[in-house]
Chains A and B, each alone.
Chain A
Amino acid sequence: MTATYEQMWKDLGLDLVAHDMLMQVLGQGYQDVFLTQESRPQGMDYFNFVMSEVHGLRIKELLDGKKEGKKVIGSFCVFVPEEIVRASDATLVGLCTGADFATEEVEKVLPRNTCSLIKSAFGFKLGKVCPYIESADMIVGENTCDGKKKSYEVFGQLVPNLYVMDLPQMKSPEGKALLKAEYYRFKDRVEQLTGNRIDVARLKNGIEIVNNKRRAVHRLSQLRKADPAPISGLDALLINQVFFYDDPIRFTESVNKICDEIEERTKTNSGVAAKGAPRILLSGCPMAVPNWKLPWIVETSGAVIVGEESCVGERGVRNLTADTGSTLDELMNAIVDRYFQVDCAIFTPNPDRLQHVKDMATAYNANGVIHYGLQFCQPYQMEAMPVEQALEAASIPTLRIDTDYSMEDVEQLKTRVEAFIERLR
């Protein structure tokens, strides 16, 4: 299969040897982590296929689209409004940030004590192994944390098409005004890039497509409340990860299809873990493909993950965008309102997030919360301590994990996670 795409990868300027190596590791990792799971829903076949073609068929689709004038916009963050991108008939893709790559090269341009996610983005670019970065007509960097904000200054020298979006840090009227101004500026830039003028009808259509995608994920989340858990946390995470890559309409159909199947499962009380197995809510930093380390450890230690309080998870999809506006400005306001609710740890203060973690723990009948912080991710690591204290005070057992993308701490993590699960039993 690889040979079919070799020319395409070559044309994109990928380093074929390094890319082959990455694909092998990724394929093996997927085999070991996902395909060894028992009682997976049939509907996961689609997502297996998407993953097997994540650098193949999906890239070919994007490139075929480009030949017909459809632009590709790459993003690193859930603050980049997909509604606007869709409205211009362009495609938004999440860029690769879930694995260490070309670390030595990265550390020539970034300090060592930069979080794995940022390093990964640079590694995929410098190692020439990400066909998404290379296919993108525009890459959006966003001023979230200091690490990302400053690293985009360097990233801008590595890619020809970086667009930096500013973001507020406080949920104030001034903050909201800034977000609105930035979303308008982004809309103008996207229009300029695509040559498509975004009008009310187009924007409504964009909102509908993206809302439908979110609704499908909401439906999946609701079904995960069942005991026994009808789908593993790993598979649910994978679906949330594919959210950022796949064609949105096909994705929505596929998620709804697997939900139909899972609905049947819950009727017969069948699931992927025993009834009464400890239920864990993950909370914290986002997990991009192929960052499956922590959920894999949790689910091979006898517990099941029932929710992700994460940008690759509920924080990213929680709210829908109101589609009732009849003018462009009303619709733009609705988009601003929707994204302004995202409770990312870059905001100060950020009380909504704590409330959401508590609410999710209750809603998904979680027995405990594992807070996942990426090393050197100041916003989430700093919030981890108050989150832990508040949850423990509310009698929700909490384990705080700080880690990165390397595998060297797997044994230590296993001990901690197993001990935490022992506490929950």
Chain B
Amino acid sequence: MISTGIDIGSRTIKIVSIDSSDRKMVASRRVETTFNPLGQATKLLDGIEGDRLIATGYGRRLAQENFGGHSITEIQAHALGARHVFSECQAILDIGGQDTKAISLDLRGKAQKFEMNDRCAAGTGKFLEFMATSFQVPIEEFGSFALAGVEGLKINSMCTVFAEAEATSLMARGSRPQDIAFALHLSVVKRSISMLRRVTTTGPIVFSGGVALNPCIVELVRREMADEVLIPEDPEMIGALGAALYGLTHTS
């Protein structure tokens, strides 16, 4: 049997297919969500063979309505995916396009306590993307750009609009853009870690989501966390992987 997980996020849509016989990944794809998530998802699923589809992410119901199958929350999907990749994982920090999640796991690997950011996208991938744009640096390079900065400046606000105003006034005072970028990254990390500390005190911690591809964030998360931080090879795919794994054990 082939089980496919589809994770419709705000920024990208991911799918992972798993063969039940050996639990090996047989497909892994990714596409931008754009303004047409349904069309993009349809394209992404084209040619995927499978008996079971499990949707997750903010577009989970859209997928379920259009492709059938079952849906689970991102929280459960990340718990399953992270434990599969790193069996020693005790907690998860997931920073995606529009939300940040901190999840603690129980002994069986089930999601226990969790925290999510509220209605606004402060401190998420969107925040970094917005800031990268205002620095005129491509988002893929924003982390390395920030790593060239020196620590010392402080950004206090997590609201995208206010933080930009803070960054602008720092620039006007002649601070180096790299130093400001570093400060912005540090503020994201501090906020995420305080969220994580509210749900757990023990590691190891799996850091997943698209923002785990940013080298400055990764370095700062490692520096700020006392516990071991594990980063999957493909941190963006953990939700889709978890959904596919759910399909292996649950009939829809």
Listed in ascending order, the chain A residues whose CB lies under 8 Å from chain B are 392, 402, 408-409, 411-412, 415-416, 418-419, 422-423
Q: Contacting B116 at CB < 8 Å: which of A392, A415, A423? A: A415
* A375 CB → nearest B CB, Å: 9
Residues of A within 8 Å of B99, CB to CB, are 412
Known contacts: A392-B113, A412-B99, A415-B58. The answer to whether A422 contacts B119 by CB under 8 A is: no
Most-contacted residue by chain B among A392, A412, A415, A418 (CB, 10 A): A415
Q: Please name the residue on chain A nearest to B72 by beta carbon.
A: A422
- Stretch of B73-81, B145-153, B156-164, B220-228 contacting A (4+ beta carbons < 8 Å): B73-81
Residues of A within 8 Å of B76, CB to CB, are 419, 422
Judged by a CB distance under 8 angstroms, whether B110 is at the interface is yes
Q: How large is the interface on B (under 10, 10 to 19, 20 to 34, 35 or more residues)?
A: 10 to 19
Q: Please name the residue on chain B nearest to A417 by beta carbon.
A: B73
- 28 of the cross-chain contacts (CB-CB < 8 Å) are A392-B113, A402-B118, A408-B119, A409-B118, A409-B119, A412-B99, A412-B116, A412-B118, A412-B119, A415-B58, A415-B73, A415-B74, A415-B75, A415-B116, A416-B114, A416-B116, A418-B73, A419-B74, A419-B75, A419-B76, A419-B111, A419-B114, A422-B72, A422-B73, A422-B76, A422-B111, A423-B110, A423-B111
CA distance A411 to B99 in the complex (A): 12
CA distance A419 to B132 in the complex (A): 32
Judged by a CB distance under 8 angstroms, whether B112 is at the interface is yes
CA distance A409 to B116 in the complex (A): 12
Residues of B within 8 Å of A412, CB to CB, are 99, 116, 118-119
CA distance A411 to B113 in the complex (A): 19
Q: Please name the residue on chain B nearest to A416 by beta carbon.
A: B116
Residues of A within 8 Å of B75, CB to CB, are 415, 419, 422
CA distance A358 to B113 in the complex (A): 19
Interface residues in B113-148 by Cβ distance below 8 A to A read 113-114, 116, 118-119
Most-contacted residue by chain A among B72, B74, B75, B99 (CB, 10 A): B75
* A412 CB → nearest B CB, Å: 6
Bitwise, B29-67 to A at CB < 8 A (1) or not (0) is 000000000000000000000000000001000000000
B119 adjacent to A423 (CB under 8 Å): no
CA distance A80 to B99 in the complex (A): 43
Bitwise, B72-102 to A at CB < 8 A (1) or not (0) is 1111100000000000000000000001000
Residues of A within 8 Å of B73, CB to CB, are 415, 418-419, 422
The 9 closest A-B pairs by CB, nearest first: A419-B75, A419-B73, A409-B119, A418-B73, A422-B76, A415-B73, A408-B119, A412-B119, A423-B111
CA distance A144 to B64 in the complex (A): 47
CA distance A126 to B75 in the complex (A): 42
CA distance A402 to B58 in the complex (A): 20
Q: Please name the residue on chain A nearest to B99 by beta carbon.
A: A412
CA distance A416 to B99 in the complex (A): 12
CA distance A392 to B104 in the complex (A): 13
CA distance A422 to B72 in the complex (A): 8
CA distance A416 to B73 in the complex (A): 8
CA distance A411 to B60 in the complex (A): 11
CA distance A422 to B114 in the complex (A): 12
CA distance A392 to B106 in the complex (A): 13
Residues of A within 8 Å of B114, CB to CB, are 416, 419
B110 adjacent to A411 (CB under 8 Å): no
* B206 CB → nearest A CB, Å: 17
CA distance A335 to B157 in the complex (A): 50
CA distance A415 to B116 in the complex (A): 9
CA distance A96 to B79 in the complex (A): 43
Residues of B within 8 Å of A423, CB to CB, are 110-112
Q: Please name the residue on chain B nearest to A423 by beta carbon.
A: B111
Residues of A within 8 Å of B72, CB to CB, are 422
CA distance A108 to B112 in the complex (A): 43
Residues of B within 8 Å of A416, CB to CB, are 114, 116
CA distance A262 to B74 in the complex (A): 38
CA distance A234 to B157 in the complex (A): 39
Q: Please name the residue on chain B nearest to A411 by beta carbon.
A: B58
CA distance A115 to B76 in the complex (A): 32
Q: Please name the residue on chain B nearest to A408 by beta carbon.
A: B119
CA distance A91 to B113 in the complex (A): 46
Residues of B within 8 Å of A418, CB to CB, are 73
* A343 CB → nearest B CB, Å: 26
Q: Please name the residue on chain A nearest to B113 by beta carbon.
A: A392
Residues of B within 8 Å of A422, CB to CB, are 72-73, 75-76, 111
Given A402-B118, A412-B119, 4 additional A-B pairs, CB 8 A:
A409-B119, A412-B118, A419-B74, A422-B73
* A409 CB → nearest B CB, Å: 4
CA distance A411 to B116 in the complex (A): 12
CA distance A423 to B58 in the complex (A): 19
CA distance A423 to B114 in the complex (A): 10
* A93 CB → nearest B CB, Å: 33
